[in-house]
């Protein structure tokens, strides 16, 4: 069960047990939902949401790709998120806004189904565990590929896309790994089931380019800015699978996963097991989200 009391649903804050949808809702049958995963952290000036504007922009972009008009403005959704955090007395944790097609008629065409909005928040620690943040995870290259261009749009963070993520994650756990790393349609490195990927070789940081099969990660963007600020060269370029095996360090990034080092891939130790640059970037990331360091004032939205 999700540890939350009040859920914002179509304009009202209602009790957890009352937040229900009809079994004939379009989203349930056809995957018609668009969502965000956002984190709030405790800072010296109170609870702050990290990069809320960028998350809301991506949410509205996901809806636009699927010809979905959101019945609220960006400002209204942002305010609703703040109201939900307050209603639950959340100091730090995870925020899940979801826009979905509800019930009217059933059939592939969604346009007659109402566009509904919900927001839930709850306390949430490290997604892959505290130990993973320190010592890294065991990953495998998934047997499942990510989506090919012009099939399912990966620039949309849509519920249906996460069937791919579920296959990657379940396979990895079933095989005794913590996470799966998927290749793209052409066989190059794409991303984890819910994280973007970075690899380091000879002090240069590499990440696959955006625009094919991986989500346009907001943490990815933060990490690129951190890497530049720390003076590292960063290259957005195609990464072949075997590059990961010979890299000095590999790490995964995401709002949930934050900056998680990868210790082994397919049981091959990454580098000599040191995670020096990853930890440097991770330290900087935690300072930024907790307001101990500021690159851009607009990255923190305080819950007042």
Write out the catalytic residue numbers. 157
User: Which among 17, 11, 14 has a CA at the least distance from the CA of 80?
Assistant: 11
Q: Rank residues 80 and 168 by Cβ distance to ligand PMP and give the closer one.
A: 168
Listed in sequence order, the residues at least 6 apart from 254 whose beta carbon sits closer than 8 Å to its beta carbon are 37, 127, 192, 194, 195, 196, 217, 219
Instruction: Establish if 37 lies at the interface with ligand PMP (CB under 6 A).
Output: yes
d(CA 19, CA 118): 9
The only residue of 178, 179, 184, 191 in contact with ligand PMP, by rule CB under 6 A: 191
- Burial of 100-122, coded b for 16+ CB within 10 Å and e otherwise, reads bbbbeeeeeebeebebbbbbbbe
CB 301 within 8 A of CB 78: yes
C-beta of 102 vs 254, nearer to ligand PMP: 254
Q: Is the Cβ of residue 110 or residue 194 nearer to ligand PMP in the bound state? A: 194
- CB closer to ligand PMP, 40 vs 218: 218
Q: Site mask, ligand PMP, residues 146-175, x = CB under 6 A?
A: -------------------x----------
Residues 11, 114: contact at Cβ < 8 Å? no
Burial of residue 270, with CB atoms counted within 10 A of its CB: 0-12 exposed, 13-18 middle, 19 or more buried = buried
Q: Give the β-pairing of 268-269 and 179-183.
A: unpaired
The residue nearest ligand PMP at its CB is: 219
Q: In a 10 Å sphere around its CB, with 0-12 CB exposed, 13-18 middle and 19+ buried, how is residue 211 labelled?
A: exposed
Shortest distance, CB of residue 193 to ligand PMP, whole angstroms? 7
C-alpha distances in Å from residue 256, one per residue of 95, 218, 239, 246? 10, 11, 24, 27
The tokens 């499942």 sit on which residue? 144
Select from 61-69, 100-108, 188-196, 241-249 the region that touches ligand PMP (CB under 6 A). 188-196
Q: Tell me the window of 92-100, 202-210, 253-261, 281-289 that interacts with ligand PMP (CB under 6 A).
A: 253-261
Per CB under 6 A, 196 contacts ligand PMP = yes
- The residues that bridge with 140 in the sheet, in sequence order, are 180
Minimum CB–partner distance for residue 236 and ligand PMP (Å): 15
Q: Which of the residues 205 through 224 are near ligand PMP (CB under 6 A)?
A: 214-215, 217-220
Comparing CA positions, the residue from 84, 19, 5 lying closest to residue 52 is 84
What is the nearest approach in angstroms of ligand PMP to the Cβ of residue 17?
A: 28
- Residue 195 makes contact with ligand PMP by CB under 6 A: yes
Q: What radius of gyration do the chain's Cα atoms show?
A: 19
DSSP state, 213? S
254 binds ligand PMP (CB under 6 A): yes
DSSP structure class, residue 232: -
Q: Closest distance between ligand PMP and the C-beta of residue 14, in Å?
A: 26
Binders in 67-126 for ligand PMP, by CB under 6 A: none
Q: Which of 93, 180, 194, 291 binds ligand PMP (CB under 6 A)?
A: 194
Stretch that binds ligand PMP, among 59-67, 169-177, 194-202, 243-251 (CB under 6 A): 194-202
Applying CB under 6 A, the span of 103-111, 191-199, 284-292, 296-304 interacting with ligand PMP comes to 191-199
Binding site for ligand PMP (CB under 6 A): 37, 165, 191, 194-196, 214-215, 217-220, 253-255
């Amino acid at each position: 069960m999700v540890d939350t009391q009040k859920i914002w649903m179509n304009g009202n804050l209602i009790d957890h047990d009352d937040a229900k949808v009809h079994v004939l809702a379009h989203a349930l049958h056809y995957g018609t939902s668009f969502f965000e995963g956002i984190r709030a952290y405790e800072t010296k000036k109170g609870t702050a949401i990290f990069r809320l504007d960028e998350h809301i922009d991506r949410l509205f972009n996901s809806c636009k790709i699927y010809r979905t008009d959101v019945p609220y403005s960006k400002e209204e959704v942002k305010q609703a998120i703040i109201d939900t955090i307050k209603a639950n007395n959340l100091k730090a944790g995870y925020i899940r806004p979801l826009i979905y097609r509800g019930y009217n008629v059933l059939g592939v065409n969604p346009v007659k189904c109402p566009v509904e909005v919900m927001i839930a928040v709850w306390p949430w620690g490290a997604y892959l565990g505290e130990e993973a943040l320190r010592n890294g995870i065991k990953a495998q290259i998934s047997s499942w590929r990510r989506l090919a261009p012009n099939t399912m749009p990966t620039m949309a963070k849509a519920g249906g896309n996460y069937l791919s993520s579920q296959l990657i994650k379940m396979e990895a756990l079933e095989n005794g790994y913590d996470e799966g790393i998927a290749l793209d349609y052409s066989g190059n490195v794409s991303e984890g089931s819910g994280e973007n990927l970075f690899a380091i070789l000879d002090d240069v940081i590499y990440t696959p380019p955006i625009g094919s099969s991986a989500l346009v990660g907001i943490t990815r963007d933060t990490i690129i800015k951190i890497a530049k600020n720390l003076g590292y060269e960063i290259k957005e370029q195609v990464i072949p699978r075997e590059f990961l095996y010979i890299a000095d360090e590999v790490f995964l990034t995401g709002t949930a996963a934050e900056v998680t080092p990868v210790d082994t891939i397919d049981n091959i130790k990454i580098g000599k097991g040191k995670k020096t640059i990853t930890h440097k970037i991770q330290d900087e990331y935690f300072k930024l989200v907790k307001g101990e360091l500021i690159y851009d004032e607009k990255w923190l939205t305080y819950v007042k």
